[in-house]
Structure 1
Amino acid sequence: MAPRLAPVLTELDLPLQELQAARLDGDIYAIGDGFASIDEFEQAHHRALSLGVLARPRFIAERMTAAWVHGALSSPPEVFEFCVSHSARARAQVSPRVQVREVVISPGDVMRFGRIAVTTPLRTAIDLLRAEGDFAKDRVEQLLQLMAANAIELDECRCEVESRHKLAGKRRALDRIAALREAPRS
């Protein structure tokens, strides 16, 4: 019996030319920076494993990258966002397509798909609520999709944000939660 291939193949497994040829032959499809067999339905672990080319051992996929892994976006973000624990002190610039920042993160905020670490859906929702910048309609829709797909309630987010001390963007997150509670549901 032939050995089974990994659910997601990357340039670490086969040369890119061979992967592209298999894609053109219809044997595999592109998923992020990886490829999956047409026999595989795209799921969170496939999206996470496709990050294998970009993610260093201490990297944790976060924010929009984690939202994509958890199914809130239909395609991967243009720039992949990773964090490392502030104690890791690893701030490597991997490529222009990768942002890495140091954060305070607890083990309970991280889940693993093989060797790839990703923030949990709840931590991802809180990070999106705390993020600087415009809270545009598409960002709100992505957040709500993440919450719906992972059975996260606004009250759960509010309680988690309120329980954290010295949380950057805490007031912004609470204001956005209040606005979402007051917004009419469609």
Structure 2
Amino acid sequence: MAPFPLIDDLPEVELQAVLLDGEAYRLGEGYVPIGVAPVPATRAVAALGTRTPRLVAALGTAAWIWGATPHPPARGEFLVDLAARWRPPFGGGPLVIESRLRSGDVVRWGEASVTSPLRTAVDLARFRTHFGEHEAAVMRRLAEIGGFEVDAALHAMNRGRNLAGKRAAGERLRAALSPS
């Protein structure tokens, strides 16, 4: 069960009226009752919305859920476990990466799941094609939220075998998280 009910069963016109009346606000891809704070659990439920619970919010979506960045990505970013036997819907939609999810990689709020701050930082280091100061700042914020340091991030990444981009990700993690 979700920590709060999303407002997702109204026609679009009524949703707009609820927003205009100040009874709800838009958060990510969902509508949330006005009395519910935008904490990580709320953001996770809003990011997943009515999507299948097999999806796990990841990368930029997870960074936003944890509060490491102020805005969600324009296109939702998710992982799905290799064992989930999941097929993406036809056409566009969110970015979904198939990956192995280990114990401790995922935090759950009801049916909404998000990668842990540690897993999120490792994935950002691995999967981002551009990595600049903004991305490094997001990783430092995730480390602060998750209470981990560079050694823990490198250890978590090294648990996986044959990871694409592992060497570059290690360099990014060291650059972003090593003490100056």
Stretches of structure 1 lacking an aligned partner (at least 5 in a row): 1-5
Please state how far the C-alpha of 1:98 moved relative to its aligned partner. 0.8
Question: RMSD in angstroms over aligned alpha carbons?
Answer: 2.3
Is 1:138 aligned to residue 153 of structure 2?
no
| 1:45-91 per-position Cα deviation (integer Å, ceiling 9, x unaligned) | 11111124352131111111111111112111101011211122313
Please state how far the C-alpha of 1:44 moved relative to its aligned partner. 0.5
Q: Give the TM-score taking structure 2 as reference length.
A: 0.86
Please state how far the C-alpha of 1:157 moved relative to its aligned partner. 0.7
Report the Cα distance in structure 1 between the residues aligned to 2:143 and 2:63, rounded to whole angstroms.
Answer: 10
Q: Which amino acid aligns with 1:109?
A: D
For residue 82 of structure 1, give the secondary structure of its aligned residue in structure 2. Answer: strand
Is 1:119 aligned to residue 124 of structure 2?
no
Residues 10 and 50, structure 1, Cα contact 8 Å, conserved in 2? no
- Number of aligned residue pairs: give it: 179
Stretches of structure 2 lacking an aligned partner (at least 5 in a row): none
Report the Cα distance in structure 1 between the residues aligned to 2:174 and 2:78, rounded to whole angstroms.
Answer: 28
Is 1:7 aligned to residue 4 of structure 2?
yes
Residues 126 and 161, structure 1, Cα contact 8 Å, conserved in 2? yes
Which of 163, 166, 172 lines up with 2:168 in the alignment?
A: 172
Residues 63 and 124, structure 1, Cα contact 8 Å, conserved in 2? yes
Residues 32 and 76, structure 1, Cα contact 8 Å, conserved in 2? yes
Q: Which amino acid aligns with 2:170?
A: L
Give the match for residue 86 of structure 1. Answer: 82
Residues 81 and 98, structure 1, Cα contact 8 Å, conserved in 2? yes
Residues 10 and 52, structure 1, Cα contact 8 Å, conserved in 2? no
Residues 94, 67 of structure 1: alpha-carbon distance in 2 compared, 3 angstrom cutoff:
farther
Please state how far the C-alpha of 1:169 moved relative to its aligned partner. 1.9
Report the Cα distance in structure 1 between the residues aligned to 2:119 and 2:10, rounded to whole angstroms.
Answer: 34
Report the Cα distance in structure 1 between the residues aligned to 2:135 and 2:50, rounded to whole angstroms.
Answer: 24
Identity, % of aligned positions: 35
Is 1:154 aligned to residue 141 of structure 2?
no
Residues 80 and 98, structure 1, Cα contact 8 Å, conserved in 2? yes
Give the match for residue 76 of structure 1. Answer: 72
Q: Give the TM-score taking structure 1 as reference length.
A: 0.84
